[in-house]
Amino acid sequence: MARTEEGTLLWEPSEKRKQNSNIYDYMNWLKKHKDLHFDNYHSLWKWSVDELELFWASLWDYFQIQSKEDYQTVLTSHEMPGANWFTGSKINYTEHIFQNRDRHKPAIIHTSELRDQTEISWDQLYQDTAALQLTLKYLGVEKGDRIVAYVANIYESVVAFLATASLGAIWSSASPDFGTQSVIDRFKQIEPKVMVTVDGYRYSGKDFDRTSVVENIQSELPTLEATIAIPYLNENATFDGLKNVTSWKHAVTSKRELTLNFERVPFNDPLWVLFSSGTTGKPKPIVQSQGGILMEHLKALTFHADLDESDRFFWFTTTGWMMWNFLVGGLLTGSTIILYDGNPGYPDKKMLWKMAEQTKMTVFGTSASYITACMKDGLVPKEEFNLQHLKNISSTGSPLPPEGFQWCYDNVKDDLWIASSSGGTDVCTAFILGAPILPVYAGELQCRGLGAKIESFTDEGKPAINVVGELVLTEPFPSMPIYFWNDKDGSRLHDSYFDVFPGIWRHGDYLKVTDRDTCVIYGRSDATINRGGIRIGTSEIYRAVDQVSAVADSLIVDIPDGDGDSSVPLFVLMKENTELTDDIKQAIKKQIRTQCSPRHVPTAIYSVPDLPKTLNGKKLEIPVKKILKGKSVKKVVNQGSLSNPSSLDYFVEFAKKHQKA
């Protein structure tokens, strides 16, 4: 595979493209209404983080936020944690979803392994949300109650979320491929009143009936008063084993036209609970606010994804990943969102490209790993599909290597804006991401997001340019967690982000900010490979290994031996019908030696039957490291949130063998 130099200029927006962008519209608005003049993105960014209050207040006006009362203070304090935004105001997230929509245009296009492509108008979305709101009220749901959802990425799930938020109730979802215990570990913590569930799902052409799992979950949630059941896998599913069931059909049926009522709640009231699996203890219940998410998603999706009513916005995700919440946020911009439920590689990886053609997709969001997998399989979508509407490919989950960018230009479309982005569950957004008015450089994320004061910190806690360091946020950000559920003294929140640099959010990623204000992410900072004091991110190693075509994927860990040295095993997943020979090992070492450094050549290379990944496709570097150091699987990872838990067996055996040796 040809190597693409990091930083190669691959695309520049035309003047027309820039003039038509939402960011330009905002810059013109700032000129006209606030007498603020910015020549380029970077001066706008600098102002947005130096004058946080002015910036976020300007968005309040620009987006015409609907509030019961005027806000008193934009930001109560710059101290973290503890900053409060737009105090005194009362808003509702769902109200902004339905503002000024053309009722006949599609709000949602959904398709899945079980369902044909279907369009849902704004009108239908409104009516169904209003009907479900009535049902939830009838079931006694009030502001602050929790509604949990064990649901697939289908239309009904969006309705259920919007109805929940319209009442000021709190949403939390898990994907039906999550194992029983991991769902209970999540939902039980937040004591839900109502559950919404599917009966099962189809993946890779196989049916998964989950009714007995749902029964188990229900029996473990003593606070549940009702369950709304969606017959998705089997349209005649009866849910006989469940108590207090309301059928979906009944829940959204109404004989008359309905009007949605929006419960305006204090800006900093909770919207949802997202869970992030740590390596120990129960998953962290991260609570984000109605107002914080509203402002951040309006900003990220309008300016950085450049969405408006003419767009058809897709992201491949499940309801168990924050990208689902981000995708639904696309509705705030008036664009049509596209939902897909199923395996994106079934029957083969062309499937999503075909869907891009059929849905007239304009923005194609996916994981970096999907793009590199298409690249390794030698796909050429432009030869088979008409992608004339496509203007942007966005990726996240892990850093998109320069070759992934190049592959998109060579094989999908040459006039394309590629945005690699990074953020995470903790803030439910990407805060290093794209901008349609900036050039695209191979392997680089185009910019730090407006209002996000992101720096790369040295070990001494100083910001540095062109140096790889810790990704930090040195100022408050509206979509930061307002708290963790049941973390009364805030200690869990503090220990998760603020224990390394006091008062500063340490995100846990390894970042370089370049002197042209672009960014490069190098993977998780606690997974870096440190040889003789020189640290490099795991993404650099993976990029070098990717050059060896026989290798499908890889995982590397650094295990210090306590004497200042460490062993650095590399585990490779070989392509089908390929063996790891000595020649291939030499080729891998050569790539790492020349492209990273001789110090970072692995101490040994092993072929593995499978590489452990979360259901969201993230490699389990830290849990594998801990297993290899002798920790039990139970202590280091929640197996229900893995796509292939049995892949860990290899590492358990490996640890036993190597500890004996």
Ligand X SMILES: CC(=O)CC(=O)O
What DSSP string describes 52-113? Answer: HHHHHHHHHHHTT---SS--SEEES-S-SS---EEET-EE-HHHHHTTT--TTSEEEEEEES
Q: Are 566 and 559 in contact (CB under 8 A)?
A: yes
* Token pair 């806690």: residue: 461
Q: Which positions lie near ligand X, rule CB under 6 A?
A: 323, 396-397, 421-424, 430
- 362 versus 396: smaller Cβ distance to ligand X: 396
> Least distance (Å) from ligand X to the CB of residue 431?
8
> Least distance (Å) from ligand X to the CB of residue 424?
4
CA angle 370, 373, 378 (to 5 degrees): 130
> Least distance (Å) from ligand X to the CB of residue 625?
19
- 424 versus 436: smaller Cβ distance to ligand X: 424
- Alpha-carbon distance of 625 to 560, in angstroms, equals 10
- 163 versus 300: smaller Cβ distance to ligand X: 300
- 430 versus 557: smaller Cβ distance to ligand X: 430
- 359 versus 396: smaller Cβ distance to ligand X: 396
Q: Which two tokens stand for residue 459?
A: 């070990």
> Least distance (Å) from ligand X to the CB of residue 396?
4
Residues 6 or more apart whose Cβ sits within 8 Å of residue 146: 169, 170, 171, 172, 190, 191, 192, 193, 273
> Least distance (Å) from ligand X to the CB of residue 427?
8
What DSSP string describes 233-288? Answer: S-TT---TT-SSEEEHHHHH--SS--------EETTSEEEEEEE--SSSSPEEEEE
Q: Which two tokens stand for residue 155?
A: 């239309």
Q: Are 287 and 487 in contact (CB under 8 A)?
A: no
- 139 versus 352: smaller Cβ distance to ligand X: 352
> Least distance (Å) from ligand X to the CB of residue 421?
6
- 92 versus 479: smaller Cβ distance to ligand X: 479
> Least distance (Å) from ligand X to the CB of residue 618?
7
> Least distance (Å) from ligand X to the CB of residue 326?
7
Helix 402-411 and helix 368-376, axial crossing angle in degrees, nearest 10: 60
What 3-state DSSP class applies to 21?
coil
Helices vs. strands in the chain: H and E counts, helices first? 22, 37
- Alpha-carbon distance of 485 to 647, in angstroms, equals 32
What 3-state DSSP class applies to 581?
coil
- 430 versus 636: smaller Cβ distance to ligand X: 430
